[in-house]
Structure 1
Amino acid sequence: MQDHLVAAADDLVGDGIRDTGIPLTDNLRHYAAITLARYMREHLSVDRLTIRIVDAMDRRADQGELRGLADACLIACSIFEARLRHAGGSLRHYAGLGQTAYDAAYMTEQAYSFPHMRDVLAAATGHAPDGLKSLIDTARSGSTKAAQTLAEDGIIAFPAQRFIH
């Protein structure tokens, strides 16, 4: 990977950490920067992401493939949230897929910290949630920053449930 892309991505992640106030461990900061740098030069395919992850899980794909799919979820949730919504999914759905894929790849720290890395990358790239609906969906996906923003306005984002009568 090109050093100038990693350096630029690391600067962006640092900006996201400052903007959100979310402290990432050194390991997570570097992981987020390297992942962001990789997608600065590679094409990200968010098409059929759910099907690709389910298929990989069913076939018991190797750790590298699962990590790549989880990384795609992280970048998609951070930068291409509107595209995911347009495809009919919620941020909560795709964040859960990413966490599951990281967990299946034995990347426990990334799995548990997915919402924090997402918040940092979204803030770093100018894609922080905008509007009440987006803030609520982001909070429901595990974002402490979105939940805090809503709480300042007296709003609690309870998990969405559908009741059948």
Structure 2
Amino acid sequence: MSITTTKFRNKGWQVHSWNYADQEVQVLHQEPFRLNWIATQLVTYVFIIERTPENYQSILDDYAALREFAGQHKNTILPFGFQCGYALLPIYVGDSFSEALIADVNNTYRKRWCVFHTPALLERNTGKLYTLEEKSFWGCIYRDYIESAINETALVLNENMTADVV
């Protein structure tokens, strides 16, 4: 078991290994239920994908596979769409990203039925994280949780990348 896997498990995540697009993707999984989320459960997956997307469309092309993985691995008895939704949070780890891709990730929010798809970009060399900056009414009750899940994951990944360099 790797150090990062242990750190994620210590933070309350289940950790899956998934073969997707010719690579092993580490997937973090939680299913929090909160009354202040209007008594809903947000089945959450953070996908750590070691790839530099060509453009925003290539991120959208991954959505169907991420959504399928979520449907196959959710544990809750609540049916999807009835007080239960998904947060699909892919973090693409790469050396650098185009300005156009960064702008799209910062500003593109697509409303989907009971799914929050919030991709992020993490630069391996600098540790810089790019994620959605556009604020939407849709899903605003989950925003702090989603941002925290992405930021905390990036922090652990950055710690691991820094340790690999030293």
On whether the aligned pair clears a TM of 0.5, the verdict is no
Range into which the TM-score falls when normalised by the shorter chain? 0.3 to 0.5
TM-score normalised over the length of structure 2: 0.34
| Higher share in strand | 2
